[in-house]
Amino acid sequence: MNLYPLKFNPILKERLWGGTKLKDLFGKPSTSEITGESWELSTVKDDISIVSNGELASTSLQELIDKYPVELLGKSVVDRFGTEFPILIKFIDAKQDLSIQVHPNDALAKERHNSFGKTEMWYIMDADPGAELVVGFNKDVSKTDYRQSLTNDTLLELLHHEKVHEGDTFFINTGKIHAIGAGVLLAEIQQTSDITYRVFDFNRKDKEGNLRELHTELALEAIDYKKKDDFKVGYSKKMNSVNTMVDCPYFKTNFLELDKNFTIDTNNRDSFTIYMCVDGRALIENEFGKVSLQKGETTLIAAMSQKIIIDTEGAKLLEVTI
């Protein structure tokens, strides 16, 4: 089998809060003025990624997993997740503030939606001056305090607002109330799940003039009401090295800033490898082929690969494995 580095057609999502940066900066094939998300790797129902390069072009990611589960994903990944791709990879452009929201944990998501929970991380690729995120509460609150703030329209006063800059990285565990603010462009790595409980949306209306649905009652048991300063990720940026960013049960993410060719021995890596290019460009190669990658593009390397060669004069990459 010839499992060369795979690229996929982006799955573009219009969002009320979206803009044009995914097209303008990354060249995504959007014709909309409100493209908020580019799903780079997905097996979410009705949004399954399709290969765009080489002899496997037009094949779906799910077809490849079903045909080559261990070869593509790795035995340990198949043992844990079967033939379901366990993570969802996105680029997000927030021209306006996203809604204030929360994601359920695995147990709650399984009980209510027969789904995984939604643990995620963000890498800030670009931020307008003054751009910020909402991450958690600014003090411990009770469920009663929280409900009262919704009634009084004072929820924002209870939330922590964090200014952001390029390179900042955040880990958003389940239960943490959060939102991406206007002017932020980021890479997102998350569990395969599309379960979001929207709790406040600034009273905005969609293009039909309707208020978007809120999930007030569903969110009550999902929210962690404690103030926790556990969201910002500190990581090394040593050049030409593999720098650990996040190592959680659902994914592992490393930061690579390279200005010369770099080889990674994956002989004992029982997992697929994903590279998201967050700056510059590189040529990614395994035993079966190579693919060019530029800022805003993603590639999937099969677990059966014995080594990965990165040919570059300058690139910043997020390396994602299980």
Tell me the residue type at 68.
Y
State yes or no: is 112 an active-site residue: no
Strand blocks (E) in 103-259: 120-127, 132-137, 159-163, 169-172, 178-180, 184-191, 197-200, 243-247, 252-258
Alpha carbons 113 and 121: distance in angstroms, whole number:
22
Alpha carbons 311 and 104: distance in angstroms, whole number:
40
- The binding site for Zn(2+) consists of 103, 120, 178
Beta carbons within 8 Å of 318's beta carbon, 6+ residues apart? 123, 187, 189, 245, 253, 254, 255, 256, 274, 275, 276, 278
DSSP assignment of 282-314 = EEEEETTEEEEEETT-EEEE-TT-SEEEEEEEE
- The binding site consists of 103, 120, 178
Q: Which residue has the tokens 């040529």?
A: 283
Nearest to 275 by CA among 247, 234, 237, 315: 315
Please answer whether residues 103 and 116 qualify as being in contact, where contact means their C-beta atoms are separated by less than 8 angstroms.
Answer: no
Question: Which contacts (CB < 8 Å, 24+ apart) does range 234-238 have?
Answer: 235/169, 237/167
Please answer whether residues 104 and 222 qualify as being in contact, where contact means their C-beta atoms are separated by less than 8 angstroms.
Answer: yes
Catalytic position from the list 112, 147, 198, 212:
198
The backbone torsions φ and ψ at residue 104, rounded to the nearest 5 degrees and listed phi first, read -75, 160
Catalytic residue numbers, as ranges: 198
